[in-house]
Structure 1
C-alpha cells in the first residue's frame, strides 16, 4: 500500500446489527398493522426488512418475541420524545384528582386509536392470553410501569383527603383501567373521552370519603 492510500476500515458489525434490528422492528410493526397478526410471519418480516430469516431466528425464537421487542422499542421512543416536552410526565397532580385522571385516560384513548400503537398492542394482548410467558413479559415490561403511575396519583389523593384512607390504590386503579381495556378489546372503536370521563366520575364516587 502506498503512503497516499487511505487504509480501509473494517465494517462496523455493531452498527450493521443495529440497522438490521431497526429494520426488523419497523417491518414487524408495519406488517401487523397492514395484514394483521395471524398473517404476519417471520418470512414476511425478513423479506420486508431485507434480512435473512435466520438473522431473525438468531435473535428471537418467534414472531411474538419480535413484535414484543419492537413494541417496547416503539414505546421507549415515544417516552423519549415525551421527555423533551416541557410538560411534566406521568399523571399530573394539580390537586384535582378527577381532572387529572380524566386527562390521562383521554390521552390513553387517543393512543389506543392510533394505528401505530393499536394494532401491535392488540396483537400482543391477545397473544399473551395463550402464551403465558409472553403475557407475563407484556404486563411486567409494558403495563406495570404505567399502573404504578395510577398508584402514585391515588396515594397522593389519599393524602389530600380526596380518597378514603382504607382504599388499596393497587385495587382501586382497576376501576379505571380494567373497564377501558375490556371495552377496547371486545368492542373496538367504541372507547371515547366521554366514556373514560364517566368511568372516573363513577369510580371516584365510590372511592370518596363518606
Structure 2
C-alpha cells in the first residue's frame, strides 16, 4: 500500500503564520510607502520570508495587496486566495428598504474615510484599472458577489412592492453606490452620512412604484 504522506500540522501552522506575515507586511508597507514603491522584495523582508514563498501563493504584488485588504476588512482569505465567501453575508432587511440602504451606505462611508484603509484602497483602485488580471480577480471575489448581495436586497423590496416591478436592479445598484465611490476616489467633496442619505433618498424617489 502506497504511503501517501500529508503535510504535518506543524508545517501547516508555519505556512499559515508565513501567509499572515506576508499579508500584514503588504498592508503596512502600502500605507507607509505607497503602492508605487511597494515591492515583493520589501514585503518579503518585512515578513521574514523568501520571495519564492510569496510567488508560490500570489502572482503579483497587486494580488498580495488585494488579499491583505480582504484580510483586514472583509474576513480571512484562504491560503493563496479566497476567504470567507461574500455570498455568505447579507444586507440588512428590516422591511424598510430606505433605512436598510442608509445603514449600508453609512458603513461604506465610514470605511472609505478610515485612514487605516484609505491609501491601500486607492492603490488597489488604480492598479485594478491597469491590471486586467487583478481586475478579474477583484470582480470574481469581491465586486460581483457584493453586487449580487445589493441586488438581492433590492429584489426583496421589489417583491414587497416598495420598488417598481420593472426596475433594472443593476442600474439601481449603480445609481446608489457609484456616486459615493466617485466622490471618494476623486476627492470631489466631503464624504458624509448626510451625503449618503441624500443619495439614497434621491435614488429611491425614482425607483418607487
Aligned residue number for residue 112 of structure 1: 112
| DSSP-derived class of the 2:75 partner | helix
Alignment of 1:7-86 (within 5 A): 12-74=10-72, 75-77=74-76
1:165 equivalent in alignment to 2:146: no
Deviation of 1:132 (Å): 1.0
- Stretches of structure 1 that go unaligned for 5 or more consecutive residues are 1-9, 81-88
| DSSP-derived class of the 2:164 partner | coil
Q: Encode CA deviations 1:80-113: one digit per residue, 9 max, x unaligned.
A: 7xxxxxxxx6322222211110111001111112
Deviation of 1:208 (Å): 1.2
Aligned residue number for residue 125 of structure 1: 125
Aligned counterparts of 2:110 and 2:76: Cα–Cα separation in 1: 17
| DSSP-derived class of the 1:12 partner | helix
Contact 1:124 1:138 in 2 (8 A): no
| DSSP-derived class of the 1:173 partner | helix
Alignment of 1:171-190 (within 5 A): 171-187=171-187, 190=190
- Stretches of structure 2 that go unaligned for 5 or more consecutive residues are 1-7, 78-82
118-127 vs 21-30, which moves further: 118-127
| DSSP-derived class of the 2:22 partner | helix
CA-atom RMSD in angstroms: 2.2
Q: Encode CA deviations 1:112-154: one digit per residue, 9 max, x unaligned.
A: 1223333322221110111011112112211222222211111
**Which one has the largest radius of gyration?**
1
Q: Encode CA deviations 1:8-57: one digit per residue, 9 max, x unaligned.
A: xx892222111111100000000111111111111111111111223222
Aligned counterparts of 1:31 and 1:101: Cα–Cα separation in 2: 34
- Scaled by the length of structure 1, the TM-score of the pair is 0.83
Deviation of 1:72 (Å): 2.7
Q: Give the aligned length.
A: 192
Aligned residue number for residue 95 of structure 2: 95
| DSSP-derived class of the 1:40 partner | coil
Change (3 A) 1:114 1:107: same
Aligned counterparts of 1:11 and 1:201: Cα–Cα separation in 2: 53
67-76 vs 173-182, which moves further: 67-76
Contact 1:175 1:203 in 2 (8 A): yes
